[in-house]
Amino acid sequence: MAITAEMVKQLRDKTGAGMMDCKAALAESGGDTDKAIDFLRKKGLASAAKRSGRATNNGIIGHYIHMGGKVGVLVEVNCETDFVARTDDFQGLAKEIAMHIAAADPKYVRREDVPAEVLEKEREIYRAQFAASGKPANVIDKIVEGKLESFYAQACLLDQPSVRDPNVTVQQMVAAATAKTGENVTVSRFARFKLGETAE
């Protein structure tokens, strides 16, 4: 199937990928736009992984105040250059993440940030739930690890499904931004304030 300039333009508008990448994706997928988008996402996530070691010393503090000033969020989103930090796309990402934090109330940025004692306590609770089930220890261990994945998806920002699109995690949103900007994009830290809450 002949790949037209119009098809390439439509795919570029949908994905933000480069013209040549869009043309190659359409050629690879036989002109099927949905398959081409999947192809670009896989390629983008692979190239995002390659960039993940690069230093991110620029970025912005995204912020969001929920209607009526009852909940407020500050989040530090980083990239490699000031040029990318000033783009509308990057600033939009920081705002989107801040709004997500306001709604989803994560406790940690990434699973590596969860203290070991918190994880151990979760494991103990899950083991206790299945202690009387009569299941073998190795089966219970597998169940416990599965439950921990659910814990991460609730407690860790990057593991959480986006409140706007539950089919995409915040980590995938960040990886898509990395693919689109060509720079390593990371979330460093956040603070969420709710009126009347006292510090623990």
Q: Which of 36, 84, 97, 73 is nearest to 192 (CA)?
A: 73
Give the span between the Cα atoms of 74 and 61, in whole angstroms: 6
Residue 36 has pLDDT above 80, yes or no: yes
Residue ranges making up the domain that contains 62:
58-110+156-194
Do 23 and 120 share a domain, yes or no?
A: no
Could you tell me the pLDDT band of residue 54, with boundaries at 50, 70 and 90? Answer: low
Do 102 and 190 share a domain, yes or no?
A: yes
> What does the radius of gyration of the chain's CA atoms come to, in whole angstroms?
20
Q: Phi first, then psi: give them for residue 13, nearest 5 degrees.
A: -60, -35
Q: Phi first, then psi: give them for residue 189, nearest 5 degrees.
A: -165, 165
Which residue is associated with the tokens 């089966």?
139
Residue 45 has pLDDT above 60, yes or no: no
Could you tell me the pLDDT band of residue 1, with boundaries at 50, 70 and 90? Answer: confident
Q: What is the pTM of this model?
A: 0.69
Q: What is the pLDDT of residue 55?
A: 67
Q: What is the pLDDT of residue 115?
A: 95
- As a whole-number percent, the residues of the chain with pLDDT over 70 amount to 90
User: In this structure, what CATH number is given to the domain that contains residue 176?
Assistant: 3.30.479.20
Do 164 and 69 share a domain, yes or no?
A: yes
91 and 100 in contact (C-beta within 8 Å)? no
What kind and span of H or E run contains 187? strand 186-194
Evaluate whether residue 131 is within a structural domain. Answer: yes
- Mean pLDDT estimate for the chain: 87
In the chain, the number of structural domains is 3
Q: What is the pLDDT of residue 48?
A: 54
Do 106 and 70 share a domain, yes or no?
A: yes
Evaluate whether residue 178 is within a structural domain. Answer: yes
Kindly list the strands in the beta sheet with 186-194, ordered across the sheet, starting from the edge strand earlier in the chain: 58-65, 71-79, 186-194
Fill in the DSSP letter of residue 112.
G
44 and 17 in contact (C-beta within 8 Å)? yes
Q: What is the pLDDT of residue 35?
A: 87
